[in-house]
């Protein structure tokens, strides 16, 4: 009998469904068994009551005792009978399950043996079909590329014709300029009202002015005082500069100045936004037209005051641009026009909005232009005005005292627990979110947290004049209460004059309550908050960029969607940015327990770093960082989730690389850019923010099937890491060799434009101590493989698939002790810690009492609880200072740490592989160090 692979799969699915049904029945039996246990407990209680009854009845008559016993006997008999029935039912179910699995194994074995499928021929046929399809696609692409090349040639010819026509036109303008210099005069005054930003009313005024110009009867109606405008071109080798001067307080009649009218007909409507010492045109756009060349579809024009001593080279195609733009120019002159009257204007290509798209001209885009100006046009981060001696205590003492007085479930960040919860519902909600969502729903959205700051932070003062912030919070299928608690915690503990807006970016969530219900709730109860929704799941990076693009404040703060800021968190976070607009500042991140919502400190500070697999790591604080524990300190790498940065500086750095997909690598890319391109990154100890780290199995699904994470890593390495990228690739050479990083032209051009330093400079000046902890080429391990107990040849140390802070134990050993499966593959590394070979998790012992448990914890490279040595002679795994050893509990399949005992055989262990040479060198080095210390 023949059988297909598809039929086997269908059979397997049916059997799997049957197994699920059996599992459900088993769960039901377990529930019944739990009921039995409760009845047994009832019987125990009954026995205790009976004992007490016997005690009371010793002095009573036998008749009373007989009566009482007769009353209790029926219930005992009923319970025993029920127990016997339940036990028999459970045994029947177990036998049925074993029979079904036996039949299933026999059936699958029979079908596989009788299968005559030729997998090789099937695979070759499918491969041939794939090759044929690829050939067809390549042929289609070749035809498209040929057509595109032909269209490009035609566009180039049209462009050359246009350039020739413009040269002739420009010559005519020169002749008009010469005529006006000989015969022009000034006779009419030009009165205006000063405005900072042009409005739609100004646009209609411009249209009216255009009508007057067409009739050659009116005067140019500007929004600032301008008298005479002269216009001339300065030629260079490959570019042009255009200088516009406003010297007098009058404007000559258009009728007399034919040359001025001719120039104004060819210049765009320049509705300017005045930003401090820089003038940025708000609406300097070419007229949308189908005949416009692609390379002119996006331009930018930036004006600087001449007194700033700045000059900027313009595009050599400026003549073509000016011939395509609208019919007049309006130039805002800043206050004190007599002193600051000259403007230098730049026109060049831009990666900003598509000006040829008619949708860009809608009112919403016009309203958002001022906030977008710094992103597209400005070259330098805005400098904030401040007085270093004008300081302020930003604490809200009244709100602080009210928060400290709050009591209730989870208040003051205390661990919380529900009384008699629905366990099944609790487990379901935990699996969906990665934390105890049912408990979260019972904790107040305005709950208080403990003030765990350094005492020196409580009385610390910051600049009294600080810029406003926009807080961007991306979310995807976040649970209701943690998301809203994040918003209320921000509102409750942030000075209102500093908080401009909270922007929630919905990355196409699927939970129904995150739709219209959230919109209504936010609009009614959550002030200063708005929601931006992405049309499809795009990932963390794209969501953050979307929020940043609509942000309007001077400083951007990026948060995750399950955070709780601590008291007075904002001033210490943004004070360094107010002093240095090229600074990026990260808060201290505290832990909100995923199971109890306890708010606790993670540590008291460390510097961010990475290893050469791009795992985020931490370096100890430097000596100078410890002198004042309230002062911000420099950190090479950010954790990535929570940080503040000036909006102008963020966009000067290009924001995030838009080629990075979903999440991963973005914190390294931004950290490298900040340091290598003229900025600095700080951690602020007095700014603390609690964050929920999801529990086991709580990570949300990703919409990609490709290896987007390592593709992101490769993009970052190729653009920023120079020759150091090879150390990353050598960890997983096969993986990186197969990955295509995509088009990196834009990112490399950005690095060149910003004149960023080399990665070698970063490693030597900023992360100078990183190679000591995480060397590019690691020394060999002292021992590796499975760790087997010598008292039992078949039990090895195993993670048992537990999470952090949970105990490891013993499990039957893998067949290959040198290269076992990942949960038994340990290494005694050169850091002298016992770590999983494939992960950065170590064996950690934090207790010192007898039978101290051994738990799994993230490797911190600080020794202490994770310091281990291997005594080859005694076969001991020695922990810490050398007095405690690892011991096997064979009966319970657990491991403990107890005082070393040569007579205790349970303390003897064997590795799959022992590097005796490295251990011998370690012993020699320790002996030399001991002798030096003795001297």
Distance, CA of 736 to chain centre: 22
Statement: 783-933 belongs to CATH 2.80.10.50:
yes
Q: How far is CA 907 from CA 445, 800, 835, 869, 873, in A?
A: 51, 20, 19, 13, 12
Whose structure tokens read 């909270």? 502
Q: Residue 325: its pLDDT value, please?
A: 38
Q: Quick check: do 423-451+463-694+701-732+744-754 and 783-933 share a fold?
A: no
Query: Residue 698 and residue 376: Cα distance in Å, rounded?
Result: 39
Q: What is the pLDDT of residue 830?
A: 87
Give every CB contact of residue 890 below 8 A, 6+ residues apart in sequence: 789, 791, 792, 795, 810, 906
Q: What is the DSSP string of 260-318?
A: HHHHHTTS----EEEETTEEEESS--PPP-TTS-GGGSSEEEEEEEGGGT---PPPTTH
Total Cβ atoms within 10 A of residue 738: 9
Tokens of 580: 């240095």
Check residue 172 and give its pLDDT. Answer: 64
In 3D, which of 652, 673, 749, 662 has the Cα closest to residue 716? 673
Query: What is the dihedral sign for C-alpha 664, 669, 674, 675?
Result: positive
pLDDT averaged per 10 residues in sequence order, the chain, 935 residues = 67 76 78 78 76 65 61 69 75 74 70 58 69 74 72 76 74 62 39 34 42 36 30 28 31 34 38 28 33 37 39 36 34 34 37 40 35 41 80 93 94 93 91 92 95 93 95 95 97 96 94 94 95 91 92 95 96 96 96 94 89 90 92 94 94 90 90 95 96 75 73 94 92 88 91 94 94 88 92 89 88 91 91 87 89 89 88 91 89 92 93 88 53 37
CA distances from 188 to 243, 248, 745 (A): 24, 11, 53
CB atoms within 10 A of CB 52: 10
Asked whether 281 and 271 are in contact (CB, 8 A), the reply is yes
For tokens 């104004």, the residue is 264
N-terminal to C-terminal alpha carbon distance within the chain: 85
Largest CA distance in the chain: 140
Phi, psi of 423 (to 5 degrees): -60, -40
Predicted pLDDT of residue 87: 74
Strands 555-558 and 563-565: unpaired
pTM of the model: 0.58
HSE-up of residue 108 (Cα within 13 Å, Cβ side)? 15
Strand partners, 138: none
Closest CA to 847 of 896, 918, 792, 788: 896
Please report which helix (H) or strand (E) contains residue 171, including its range: helix 119-183
Neighbours of 832 (CB within 10 A): 15
Domain regions of the chain by residue span: 423-451+463-694+701-732+744-754, 783-933
Q: What is the pLDDT of residue 308?
A: 40
- The sign of the CA dihedral 29, 34, 39, 40 is positive
| CB-based burial label for 491 (10 Å; 0-12, 13-18, 19+) | middle
Those residues with Cβ within 8 angstroms of residue 213's Cβ, 6 or more apart along the chain or in another chain: 220, 254, 261, 264, 265, 327, 328
CATH topology of domain 423-451+463-694+701-732+744-754: Spore Coat Polysaccharide Biosynthesis Protein SpsA; Chain A (3.90.550)
CA 558/CA 473 separation, integer angstroms: 6
What pLDDT score was predicted for residue 527? 95
């Amino acid at each position: 009998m023949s059988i297909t692979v598809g039929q086997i799969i269908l059979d397997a699915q049916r059997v799997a469904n049957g197994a699920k049904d059996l599992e459900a029945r088993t769960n039901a039996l377990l529930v019944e068994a739990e009921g039995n246990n409760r009845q047994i407990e009832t019987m125990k209680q009954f026995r205790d009551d009976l004992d007490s009854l016997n005690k009371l009845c010793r002095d009573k008559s036998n008749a009373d005792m007989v009566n009482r016993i007769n009353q209790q006997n029926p219930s005992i008999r009923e319970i025993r009978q029920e127990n016997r029935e339940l036990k028999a039912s459970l045994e029947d179910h177990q036998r049925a399950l074993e029979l079904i699995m036996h039949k299933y194994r026999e059936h699958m074995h029979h079908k596989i043996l009788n299968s005559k499928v030729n997998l090789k021929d099937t695979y070759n046929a499918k491969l041939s079909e794939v090759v044929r399809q690829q050939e067809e696609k390549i042929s289609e692409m070749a035809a498209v590329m040929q057509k595109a090349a032909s269209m490009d040639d035609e566009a180039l010819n049209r462009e050359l014709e246009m350039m020739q026509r413009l040269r002739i036109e420009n010559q005519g303008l020169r002749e008009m300029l010469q005529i006006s210099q000989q015969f022009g005069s000034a006779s009419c005054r030009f009165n205006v009202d000063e405005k900072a930003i042009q409005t739609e009313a100004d646009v209609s005024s411009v249209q009216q002015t255009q009508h007057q110009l067409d009739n050659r009867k009116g005067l140019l109606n500007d929004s600032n005082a301008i008298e005479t405008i002269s216009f001339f071109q300065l030629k260079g080798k490959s570019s042009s500069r255009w200088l516009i001067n406003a010297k007098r307080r009058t404007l000559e009649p258009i009728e007399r100045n034919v040359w001025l009218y001719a120039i104004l007909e060819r210049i765009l409507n320049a509705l300017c936004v005045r930003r401090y010492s820089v003038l940025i045109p708000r609406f300097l756009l070419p007229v949308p037209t189908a005949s416009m060349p692609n390379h002119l579809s996006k331009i930018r024009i930036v004006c600087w005051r001449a007194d700033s001593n700045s000059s900027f080279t313009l595009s050599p195609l400026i003549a073509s641009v000016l011939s395509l733009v609208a019919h007049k120019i309006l130039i805002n002159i800043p206050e004190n026009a007599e002193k600051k009257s000259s403007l230098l204007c730049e026109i060049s290509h831009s990666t900003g909005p598509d000006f040829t798209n008619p949708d860009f001209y809608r009112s919403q885009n016009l309203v958002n232009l001022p906030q977008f100006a710094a992103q597209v046009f400005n070259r330098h981060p805005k400098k904030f005005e401040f007085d270093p001696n004008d300081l302020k205590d930003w604490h809200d003492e009244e709100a602080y005292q009210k928060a400290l007085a709050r009591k209730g479930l989870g208040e003051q960040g205390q661990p919380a627990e529900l009384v008699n919860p629905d366990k099944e519902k609790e487990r379901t909600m935990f699996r969906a979110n990665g934390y105890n969502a049912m408990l979260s729903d019972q904790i107040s959205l305005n709950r208080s947290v403990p003030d765990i700051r350094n005492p020196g932070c409580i009385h610390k003062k910051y600049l009294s004049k600080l810029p406003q912030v926009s807080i961007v919070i991306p979310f995807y299928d976040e649970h209701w209460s943690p998301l809203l608690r994040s918003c209320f915690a921000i509102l409750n503990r942030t000075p209102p004059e500093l908080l401009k807006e909270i922007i929630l970016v919905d990355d196409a969530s699927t939970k129904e309550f995150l739709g219209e219900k959230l919109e209504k709730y936010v609009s009614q109860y959550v002030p200063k908050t708005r929601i931006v929704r992405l049309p499809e799941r795009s990932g963390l990076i794209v969501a953050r960029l979307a929020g940043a693009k609509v942000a309007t404040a001077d400083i951007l703060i990026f948060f995750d969607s399950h955070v709780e800021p601590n008291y007075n968190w904002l001033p210490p976070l943004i004070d360094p940015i107010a002093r240095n607009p090229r600074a990026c500042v990260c808060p201290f991140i505290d832990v909100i327990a995923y199971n109890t919502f306890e708010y606790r400190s993670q540590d008291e500070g460390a510097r961010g770093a990475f290893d050469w697999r791009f795992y985020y790591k931490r370096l100890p604080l430097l000596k100078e960082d410890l002198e004042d524990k309230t002062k911000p300190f420099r950190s090479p790498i950010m954790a990535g989730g929570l940080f503040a940065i000036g909006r102008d500086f963020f966009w000067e750095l290009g924001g995030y690389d838009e080629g990075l997909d979903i999440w991963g690598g973005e914190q390294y890319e931004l950290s490298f850019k900040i340091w290598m391109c003229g900025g600095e990154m700080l951690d602020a100890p007095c700014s603390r923010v609690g964050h929920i780290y999801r529990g086991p199995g709580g990570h949300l699904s990703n919409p990609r099937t490709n290896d987007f994470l390592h593709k992101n890593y490769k993009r970052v390495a190729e653009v920023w890491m120079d020759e150091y990228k090879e150390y990353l690739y050598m960890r997983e050479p096969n993986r990186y060799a197969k990955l295509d990083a995509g088009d990196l032209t834009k990112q490399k051009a950005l690095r060149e434009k910003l004149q960023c330093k080399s990665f070698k400079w970063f490693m030597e000046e900023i992360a100078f101590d990183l190679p000591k902890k995480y060397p590019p080429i690691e020394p060999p391990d002292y021992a590796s493989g499975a760790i087997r107990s010598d008292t039992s040849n078949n039990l090895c140390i195993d993670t048992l698939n537990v999470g952090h802070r949970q105990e490891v134990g013993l499990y039957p050993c893998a067949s290959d002790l040198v290269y076992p499966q990942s949960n038994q593959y340990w290494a005694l590394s050169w850091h002298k810690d016992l770590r999983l070979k494939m992960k950065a998790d170590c064996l950690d012992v934090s207790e010192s009492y007898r039978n101290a448990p051994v738990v799994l914890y993230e490797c911190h490279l600080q020794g202490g609880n994770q310091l281990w040595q291997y005594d080859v002679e005694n076969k001991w795994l020695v922990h810490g200072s050398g007095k405690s050893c690892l011991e096997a509990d064979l009966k319970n399949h657990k491991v403990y740490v107890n005082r070393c005992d040569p007579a205790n055989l349970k303390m003897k262990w064997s590795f799959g592989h022992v590097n005796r040479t490295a251990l011998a060198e370690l012993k020699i080095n320790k002996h030399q160090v001991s002798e030096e210390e003795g001297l």
